[in-house]
Amino acid sequence: MEDALYVFEVRDVREASEPGRARSLVRIPLVFAAEPPTTLLRDGKARSLDHAVVAAKPLGDGRFAAELWTLLELGPGEGRRLSLWASGPPRTAASDAPAPSELSSGSLVAVLDPASGIASLRSGDLELAGDEFLSSFVSYRSADALEVHPNRPWEIRSEPAGDWLRRARLRTRIAFATPEDGEVAATVEVALSLPAGASWLVADVDVVYPYTSKRDVLHNPSQKLRRYLDRRWVEVAPFQLHPRLSGTRDDPLRVWKHNYLGVTSHYDLDYARINPKNAEIDAFNHQVTAGWVAVSDGDRGLLVAEDADVRASFAFAPMRLREEDGRQALWLNPFGSYHGRQLDYSQSDGTGLGAEVTELFSSSLYPNGPSYNGQRESFSLLLAPYAGDAPPDRLQRDAGNFFAAPAVVYLKMPAAVDAPVRLPHQMRALVTQERHARARRETAGPLPTPRAFLANPTQGAVDVVWDEPRDPRIDGYEVEWRSAEAEDWQSVRLAPGRRHRVDGLIDGESYAFRVRAAAGGEAGPWTEVAEVRVGPVEVVEMASALTEMSPGLVWRYCKAALVHAWVTR
């Protein structure tokens, strides 16, 4: 232990009452004083364990950050002590290594292809990847026409990680044009990993969405929540999956899910048997899940799990259903957003008025695409093909432990870690801090101006909101304001953020506001001045919203009103 670089205590977090052992993927963040050496991993009985040290990146001061990967067979509440040792010099990977054509663990094979990313995902004779199994897109409304912009061909490169772990990195762009900003592009980068002997593939996804100019104002009953947004964003699909499954109305596809009460259940996609108009559904998400969801046609299925240490949502995989020549097809969109027509309820002999009015005036039915504008998201998925209807019990346990990974405590670490760290999230925070510091040192030029600045008056106060520019040097903001009669500005220096409330203002008086970015003793340009009159927010009547609708939406509203008048006459 004295010469070990790291010593860890690893423990399965499941309750002792939960039956069965699980094969747990353990991923532990590390920091090394120099480029990571060749390593040896041992358990408490000094037995060597298969492992890999991956994703090594310099921190800018000679140190490197990386991750230790290993598989442990653990029962509920079971612990294991591990130690990591240096066993040789760093392994230098050839920079001109050919792009891999496949990743194979023996029981699972993933065939890679620039056109489709993953052309095949095969477990024995069981094939789950059909046409366009993996794709990415952004749908964006331009000149009142909705256009779907698919990803470009995938760039594939090798990422050697030793004999135990097969790894490849895929990268693509989603380019589209906007009236104000010209051509912009989202970037999608995927690290695919397949441990030896594993029956599942791990996909670590990192997406950077472009920032497009915002011209629309998000209206809410609460004035302080108003923000600028670009409503031309409609859908995003960072890592859309289209498994090779086929159902019919009489023998429909099935969705399996595991909820937060520990109950595994399913439901069938038999909407068309109730109402033929619902044979195709643009967007549905009834999968409130504790970590994983699976889809099956009875003969084969695909389970998709999320890693809560990276990103988690209780409904992380919205789906889309299509039917062609009587055959069902399904798409999954993990951590993306679909939008489209709602379910039709004409089988109940309704007029459709409720659906029309709800769709017109319910903000919850607006596209969620604008919330991705200018954002960055990272998530990690486990993809597991299986035979049959329900996922096997063992696979369900493995997926559950991918979602809630075993707990890790650092018992020893090298001097290169010069901060008190005991838990993985503290190590990740340290690495993030160091990477930000490096990015600040390497960024030059004037500070950018905050974007989408808006002042929202309310009773006795004004809430100012803005979008933060992407610049690692920014460590805060300065907000200034003054009344219409005053000459001098009042100001406050703020920590990084996107909003600030200025209190103590007089109702009925006009005030001016502006904001700028700050970095140490430097400051960027001010935004344009926003002038508002302070006072309580007036209630906006439903009919007044017609003035902000497009002609098409106005006609739909009037049609719904006429139908209502005819039915209730």
In angstroms, the CA 297 to CA 470 distance is 45
Q: Which residues pair with 227 in a beta bridge?
A: 218
Q: Which pLDDT band holds residue 18 (cuts at 50, 70, 90)? A: confident
Does the pTM surpass 0.75? The reply is: yes
pLDDT digits (tens, 9 = 90+) for 41-55: 999 999 999 999 999
Looking from the CA of 31 toward its CB, the CA atoms found within 13 Å total: 28
Helix %, strand %, coil % of the chain (to 5): 15, 45, 40
Q: What's the average model confidence in pLDDT over 528-536?
A: 94
pLDDT at 356 over 70: no
Q: What's the average model confidence in pLDDT over 435-442?
A: 89
Pick the range with the lowest mean pLDDT from 40-54, 76-90, 212-226, 441-455: 212-226
pLDDT digits (tens, 9 = 90+) for 124-168: 999 999 889 999 999 999 877 899 999 999 999 998 888 899 999
Instruction: Provide the percentage of residues in the chain whose pLDDT is more than 70.
Output: 89
Return the H-helix or E-strand segment holding 102. strand 102-104
DSSP annotation of 461 reads E
DSSP 3-state assignment of 223? helix
- 425 neighbors 48 (Cβ within 8 angstroms): no
For residue 417, count other CB atoms closer than 10 A to its CB.
19
Burial (CB count <10 Å: 0-12, 13-18, 19+), residue 10? buried
- 503 neighbors 534 (Cβ within 8 angstroms): no
For position 230, what pLDDT does the model report?
A: 95
In angstroms, the CA 376 to CA 372 distance is 8
Q: Which residues pair with 49 in a beta bridge?
A: 41
Instruction: Provide the percentage of residues in the chain whose pLDDT is more than 90.
Output: 73
pLDDT at 448 over 60: yes
365 phi, psi to nearest 5 deg: -100, 0
Pairwise pLDDT comparison (262 vs 237), residue with the higher score: 237
Looking from the CA of 460 toward its CB, the CA atoms found within 13 Å total: 2
- 324 neighbors 287 (Cβ within 8 angstroms): no
In angstroms, the CA 77 to CA 91 distance is 36
| Amino acid letter, 18 | E
pLDDT digits (tens, 9 = 90+) for 488-520: 999 999 999 999 999 999 999 999 999 999 998
For position 258, what pLDDT does the model report?
A: 92
In angstroms, the CA 463 to CA 218 distance is 14
- 272 neighbors 323 (Cβ within 8 angstroms): yes
DSSP 3-state assignment of 368? coil
DSSP 3-state assignment of 397? helix
| Residue owning tokens 């792009």 | 99
- 519 neighbors 447 (Cβ within 8 angstroms): yes
**Which residue blocks in 255-373 are alpha helix, DSSP H?**
271-274, 353-361
Average pLDDT, the chain: 90
Smallest CA-to-CA distance from 406 within 37, 70, 51 is with 70
